[in-house]
Structure 1
């Protein structure tokens, strides 16, 4: 498992010696279903969606995120600063199950002004974008930059053919604790210690240092 949230959470859990934490990758939709059914303690990194996902607690954000759309350079030969109007007629990639893009975007999709292709995971979406199978891809800027760096090191990306387009919104990523996880009697204690350490790392600037190192 890779990614900035994984790095940060591993750093937090190192400071929780009373617990041995296992991070298990699951498809996003399955993870949401498991959280709803109480089959996992917590899931990361959901955005706060208390109406759509009332079965999770959103206590303290791990990171402030910038949701943006990245496109092939030829798509951005003309300026496209306005989301989603400037992207009408394009094919946009999205992580399967992610509620990104905003209401106006999904209304445009419903009206067939924009088409969407959903694929599991950021690396697969970016490979589709690099191959020209979609025009753009929307996700957290940090995640996209990290994966592009990794793909470039693997010889799968030239390092220059994609650019950031419009900023869609500002979001925050959480460790979302399942409200119905009754099989985890230690949840209250675990959650309390997790939130205290996260608060300390934020206050000390450690989270910012992790992010800076992550993107080098």
Structure 2
């Protein structure tokens, strides 16, 4: 190759590189880069939302990740946070969204809500000998005289339950965790346990998976459904325009949740999570 041809090739190289790069820069049909969105999740609410080994896990976590896959315009990052701190971030407009609040508009006027994601059901589990003695359908009347376990710090039995406890018609026996209460129930140290259904099913799966069920443990079963609370994705309404994509994101997230309910993905996600201990 002559010196003149070599020089011509070198001069042409920048033009060739620019030509290769030009379509990505000028093509009006090229998709824009996804918008980065950070959503905070309660780091201590198993099995729904919790931090384990540095990773966000839980039923809501899996559902929100699946919904985000149906929203290619957004790149969603889920970050753990203590619940009360997350609420403060929404109240000050610092954070875009937080999961999974219940619908409390009077208590949290700074929060807007997605469409409901799933229902958390409050139920009673009792040991088989207790169930066999008499029907346990009406709460709390049919549970008179029993020792009812609940997780310490959770006031979830309702007004009639509190009144029955105050009158001495039944006993409330707090323990530090669902695992502690379920093991006590299977040993006959309490008669019933009051908690969220998915929490009970999930913890029972972990107990069995870890081989903690002792020989002679009492069979246990659900006896009553007391109430249900819907869980949501909560958005700040105090951002003063900090998140200009908010209304579009809410619309598309709601559409994704609706589709997931219709095609059974939310149901399947819950069932798969509860079947997979550990």
TM-score when normalising by structure 1: 0.74
**Greater relative contact order: 1 or 2 (C-alpha under 8 angstroms, separation 6 or more)?**
1
Matched-pair contact (CA < 8 Å) for 1:72–1:129: no
Q: Report which of the two structures shows the higher radius of gyration computed on alpha carbons.
A: 2
Q: Indicate the structure with greater strand content.
A: 2
Residues 208 and 30 of structure 1: is their aligned pair in 2 closer, same or farther, counting only changes over 3 Å? same
Q: Aligned-pair distance for 1:184?
A: 5.2
Residue 93 in structure 1 maps to residue 150 in structure 2: yes
Residue in structure 2 matching 1:104, options 151, 155, 160: 160
Q: TM-score, normalised by structure 2?
A: 0.60
Aligned pair count reads: 210
Alignment of 1:174-213 (within 5 A): 174-180=232-238, 185=243, 186-213=245-272
Which of the residues 169, 172, 178 maps onto 1:115? Answer: 172
| Unmatched 5+ stretches in structure 2 | 1-49, 51-56
Matched ranges for 1:83-162 at <5 A:
83-89=139-145, 90-94=147-151, 96=153, 100-109=156-165, 113=169, 114-115=171-172, 117=174, 119=176, 124-132=177-185, 135-157=191-213, 161-162=219-220
1:64 aligned residue (83, 108, 119): 119
Q: Do the aligned partners of 1:3 and 1:146 also contact (CA within 8 Å) in 2?
A: no
- Structure 1, unmatched stretches of 5+, are none
Cα deviations by residue, 1:77-116 (Å, 9 ceiling, x for unpaired): 433211122334534313745x633332344455565436
Q: Is the 8 A contact 1:93 1:134 kept in 2?
A: no
1:141-179 per-position Cα deviation (integer Å, ceiling 9, x unaligned): 123212211221122346963321211123322223344
Determine if contact 2:178/2:200 at 8 Å carries over to the other structure.
no
Cα distance between partner residues in 2 of 1:191 and 1:183: 15
